[in-house]
Amino acid sequence: MHPHAPRRIRFNAFDMNCVGHQSPGLWRHPDDRSSEYNTIAYWTHLAQVIERGRFDGLFIADVLGTYDVYGSSNRATLAAGTQVPVNDPVLLVSAMAAVTEHLGFGITAGTAFEHPYPFARRLATLDHLTGGRVGWNVVTGYLPSAARNMGQRDQAAHDDRYDHADEYLEVVYKLLEGSWEDGAVVRDRRSSVFTDPDRVHEIGHAGAHFTVPGIAITEPSPQRTPVVYQAGTSPRGLRFAGENAECVFVAAPTRQRLAQAVTGIRAAAIEAGREPGDVKVYTLLTVITGPDEAAAQAKHEDYASYIDHQGALALLSGWMGIDFSQYGLDDVIGHDVQTNAVQSAVDTFRASAGDDEPWTVRRLAEWVGIGGFGPVVVGSGAQVADELLDWARETDVDGFNLAYAITPGTFEDVVEYVVPELQARGAYPTDYEEGTLRHKLFGRGDRLPANHRGSGFRIGALAMSGGAER
Amino acid sequence: MHPHAPRRIRFNAFDMNCVGHQSPGLWRHPDDRSSEYNTIAYWTHLAQVIERGRFDGLFIADVLGTYDVYGSSNRATLAAGTQVPVNDPVLLVSAMAAVTEHLGFGITAGTAFEHPYPFARRLATLDHLTGGRVGWNVVTGYLPSAARNMGQRDQAAHDDRYDHADEYLEVVYKLLEGSWEDGAVVRDRRSSVFTDPDRVHEIGHAGAHFTVPGIAITEPSPQRTPVVYQAGTSPRGLRFAGENAECVFVAAPTRQRLAQAVTGIRAAAIEAGREPGDVKVYTLLTVITGPDEAAAQAKHEDYASYIDHQGALALLSGWMGIDFSQYGLDDVIGHDVQTNAVQSAVDTFRASAGDDEPWTVRRLAEWVGIGGFGPVVVGSGAQVADELLDWARETDVDGFNLAYAITPGTFEDVVEYVVPELQARGAYPTDYEEGTLRHKLFGRGDRLPANHRGSGFRIGALAMSGGAER
């Protein structure tokens, strides 16, 4: 036990504009409403639930293609409703913003498929409409099936995608940070001046991938650049995160792995001239809770009975690039399945589960079938609170990106049973701070801090930095 | 007077995610709220006002660049707030849909700058979220300044843009009409089948501009293809409208011009194998009204005193491709300004205004300064209702695309004073019909009719049409 107050725990809710995001098959559960993903009411209700629970935000994942590694087709994916059909995430934001006051929205959008000029306008528009509550989860690629439907033969090579994304972000930073000065918009009814043209600047960008000579067509929004989220874990992805990300999402099944990931991310921030605390790290985790431990355990068993094994393996096949349709559900990993990557993943999952037995493909599907690669924590509110605090203490993680087993039930349970326990331990806020999402996260204002890459593209940064930044 | 009941009048509200859309300078009026364009509250209030007035929809224009012909720069445009800053329109929809039940949303989006695969998903998502209340206003180009910021030297040539748009729409139709069969989504909890993979088809599109081999990743929405809007008036644009548009927006300052435009559009529909009534035509018009004629006239004078001449001329310069900064406000058109295009436009405006005097540049700016190229009708509710009915009778137009002088005041006035007069004359509905936007407009169901180009891309259309359609 530590003598000082426990560290603060942060929550994000993890969802996607689709059915059964990380819990294939659970759309069949009578209490699950994920098949109402295509209605506004589902999203406004969810936003209100997690705002009541003082979550930092709702993080909406996205793919623009189907998982088609399993059986070399998308048949299993379609049948199970595994992340297909999938609707656009950005279009959900204004409805949810209208019924909430503080909740943040972390929206996934790729750098591969839309030109940064109109995309920067989308970001600015969302930041205006939400009063500064938007984050952008930068992804550099989608599924290969998405690339093909955009007329490309496949995704660009991994590191090339990051080089392309570097320039993409440069254009976005220049438009949102370096085109309109603070105070350029004067809205002066007497002098008839809406915007002072002397204080709006062409960005003059000419790079390897993009040519953007002109001004941003949006006025500065509360945060200018929305909070930058990222989830890459490769060395190149880590460098990108160190330079750009303010929040990083990781998926680590054990505390040891998570501690390593957190250390790596903070080191990458330092490498980029930032402070270790300049990046908040959220780890993927699913909570199943209830009024007491027995109720939570019963709920877990009930949920597990709805897992769609084929749907889970279709997801896993896409993530790992291994076609699991070639194996039977009772095949034993290490015996019938002899693939190093699978063995390594299963070893980690077994360690997390405290399980000594060999795993079958079925067991693997059931691990992935609730909450994907993240652990599942089952127990009373007090038990879950203690376990999350242990995770945070041992790993230096800032918070949890909470997947659902069923939605919005899983989130409602966390708000009802876990949040009050964390609050009672002084580890969770009882109310939001005022201000933008960035200010709520870091407590030092609405804008990117001076040591962030994006600040180097501000008006005046050229002179201040002796020209080094441009 | 006609012995039969007067024809039905339809209203759309015309707005844009910017300040002073078609009334440069009137953002300075104390009652104007257009400078709150970047808040959700502005838009949800407007949507509720015009739904109370039983408008068909809110039509949101868009540009992705600045007007920079006037003085060869965007300085006048910025200073006057003339359609810059401008935010993204599609992101407004879900918030407005959440507070309305029947109102349609006509969203402008160009075919030049986003790949049709993600764009089709945006359309499907909006149609899902609104329960089938979305229209897409297809534009083939934006301003040249927009093209340059997308890394192009200029816009493609006019007719090439339409050829490109033809294929763009083909991809959208194939994705939204021809990939997922009706009933493909079974959502069957017992059999565990969300989607029947046998009823989802790859579109296999390989064209001059786009290669899209796969399936749509969205399930069918209430209308599948949103209602198609268009506003082109060139011969090539008319052909495109005849083949694709279900609603066309025109801007004609006189009844004679409008009658010609309506005739041309209906002829283009017939040319494309459709019925003349298969296209609803809305003409641009601004209503200034009040409790009586004197109040309306006083309001008009008050509004006119806020027109920003430079801002109006910056808009006009962009529309006409003529730099009006070279003239003084008191220069006389036909004498100091000797340009055929300007003379021709002014002759038409003068005819509409019933004005015999020569016009100065100032007078021209004041004409354009409230409601752009459309006429301004000033009077009591009864007077306006009679005049609109005359326009409709004489021109065969279906309805009016109502611009604002101030917003939402202009729309509130129409709802308060004009709508009840039209209802009393049996020319305007007292309530909405149930159903999708398309059904509300045409009364024959949610989907594209069989004689529409898009229906040729349905599953089975190949066999039914003997292969002619593909």
A47 contacts on B by Cβ (under 8 Å) = none
A185 and A57 both lie in a single domain: yes
Q: pLDDT tens, B154-204?
A: 777 888 899 999 999 999 999 999 999 999 999 999 999 999 999 999 999
Q: Is A180 helix (H, G, I), strand (E, B) or coil?
A: strand
Residue B301 lies in a domain: no
Q: Which residues pair with A470 in a beta bridge?
A: none
Output the pLDDT for position B4.
58
Residue A96 near residue B245, CB atoms below 8 Å: no
B341 and B460 both lie in a single domain: no
A382 and A364 both lie in a single domain: no
Output the pLDDT for position A146.
85
B347 and B414 both lie in a single domain: no
Report d(CA A429, CA A407) in Å as an integer. 24
> What is the crossing angle of helices A255-271 and A381-395, to 10°?
50
Output the pLDDT for position B458.
95
| DSSP assignments along A220-236, one per residue | PPTTSSPEEEE---SHH
Residue A303 lies in a domain: no
H helical segments located in B71-115: 75-80, 93-98
Which residues of chain A fall below pLDDT 70? 1-5, 142, 462-470
Output the pLDDT for position A173.
98
Residue B175 near residue B210, CB atoms below 8 Å: no
Residue A470 lies in a domain: no
Q: What mean pLDDT do residues B312-323 have?
A: 95
Q: Which of A373, A359, A279, A369 is nearest to A320 (CA)?
A: A373
Q: What percent of chain B has pLDDT over 90?
A: 86
For residue A30, whether the previous peptide bond is cis, meaning omega lies within 30 degrees of 0, is no
Residue A359 lies in a domain: yes
Last residue of a domain, one of B331, B350, B368: B368
Output the pLDDT for position A462.
54
Residue A4 lies in a domain: no
* CB-CB under 8 Å, B193 with A79: yes
Q: What are phi and psi of A250, to 5 degrees?
A: -125, 165
Instruction: Please return the burial class of B443, using the count of CB atoms within 10 Å of its CB with bins 0-12, 13-18 and 19+.
Output: exposed
Q: pLDDT tens, B335-367?
A: 999 899 999 989 988 888 888 899 999 999 999
Report d(CA A184, CA A164) in Å as an integer. 31
Instruction: Calculate how close chain B gets to A16, using CA atoms only, in Å.
Output: 13
Q: Which of B400, B117, B235 is nearest to A66 (CA)?
A: B117
* CB-CB under 8 Å, A99 with B94: no
Q: pLDDT tens, A453-467?
A: 999 999 877 544 443
Q: How many Å is the maximal CA-CA distance in chain B?
A: 81
Residue B12 near residue B432, CB atoms below 8 Å: no
Only one residue has tokens 């933008």, namely: A436
A340 and A218 both lie in a single domain: no
H helical segments located in B15-115: 40-52, 75-80, 93-98
A126 contacts on B by Cβ (under 8 Å) = 91
Residue B400 near residue B9, CB atoms below 8 Å: yes
B364 and B394 both lie in a single domain: no
Last residue of a domain, one of A368, A389, A419: A368
Q: Is A378 helix (H, G, I), strand (E, B) or coil?
A: strand
B398 and B283 both lie in a single domain: yes
Report d(CA A294, CA A289) in Å as an integer. 9
A20 and A107 both lie in a single domain: yes
Q: pLDDT tens, B275-313?
A: 999 999 999 999 999 999 999 999 999 999 999 999 999
* CB-CB under 8 Å, A125 with B17: yes
pLDDT at B466 over 50: no
Last residue of a domain, one of B368, B394, B409: B368
Instruction: Calculate how close chain A gets to B304, using CA atoms only, in Å.
Output: 14
Only one residue has tokens 């709805």, namely: A306
What integer best gives the mean pLDDT of chain B?
94
Q: pLDDT tens, B368-406?
A: 999 999 999 999 999 999 999 999 999 999 999 999 999
Q: How far is CA A89 from the centre of its chain?
A: 12
- Number of structural domains, chain A? 2
Q: How many CA atoms lie within 13 A of B14 on its CB side?
A: 29
The closest CB to that of A212, out of B124, B149, B221, belongs to B149
Q: Which of B313, B306, B309 is nearest to B410 (CA)?
A: B306
Q: How many Å is the maximal CA-CA distance in chain A?
A: 81
The closest CB to that of B88, out of A17, A125, A189, belongs to A125
B122 and B157 both lie in a single domain: yes
Output the pLDDT for position A5.
63
B342 and B206 both lie in a single domain: no
Q: What mean pLDDT do residues B51-71 have?
A: 96
pLDDT category at B5 given cuts 50, 70, 90 is low
Cα nearest neighbour of A119 on chain B = B88
Instruction: Calculate how close chain A gets to B227, using CA atoms only, in Å.
Output: 18
CATH code of the domain in which B100 resides: 3.20.20.30
Residue A301 lies in a domain: no
The closest CB to that of A98, out of B40, B64, B84, belongs to B40
Output the pLDDT for position A465.
44
Report d(CA A418, CA A410) in Å as an integer. 11
Residue A133 near residue A54, CB atoms below 8 Å: no
Buried b (16+ CB within 10 A) or exposed e, A384-419: bbbbbbebbeebbbbbbbbbbbbbbbbbbbbbbbbb
Q: How far is CA A70 from the centre of its chain?
A: 25
List all residues 6 or more positions away from B77 whose beta carbon is below 8 Å from its beta carbon: B66, B67, B68, B70, B83, B84, B311, B314, B315, B318
Host domain of residue A335: 309-368
pLDDT at B16 over 80: yes
Instruction: Measure Cα distances from B119 to A162, B49, B431 in Å.
Output: 24, 29, 33
- Best of B217, B218, B309, B313 to disrupt the A interface by mutation (most A CBs within 10 Å)? B217
Q: What are phi and psi of A186, to 5 degrees?
A: -100, -25
pTM here? 0.96
Residue A197 near residue B74, CB atoms below 8 Å: yes
Residue B298 lies in a domain: no
Residue B406 lies in a domain: yes
Report d(CA B404, CA A52) in Å as an integer. 39
Output the pLDDT for position B86.
98
| DSSP assignments along B350-419, one per residue | HHHHT--SPPBHHHHHHHHHTTTTS-EEEEEHHHHHHHHHHHHHHH---EEEEE-SSTTHHHHHIIIIIH
Task: State how beta strands B193-195 and A211-212 pair.
Answer: unpaired
A315 and A398 both lie in a single domain: no
Q: What mean pLDDT do residues B130-134 have?
A: 98
| DSSP assignments along A311-362, one per residue | HHHHHHHHHHT--GGGS-TTPBBTTTB--HHHHHHHHHHHHHHT--SPPBHH
List all residues 6 or more positions away from A286 whose beta carbon is below 8 Å from its beta carbon: A22, A370, A371, A374, A375, A376, A377, A402, A403, A404, A405, A410
B35 and B173 both lie in a single domain: yes
Residue B271 near residue B245, CB atoms below 8 Å: no
Instruction: Calculate how close chain A gets to B428, using CA atoms only, in Å.
Output: 30
Interface predicted TM-score (ipTM) of this complex, two decimals? 0.96
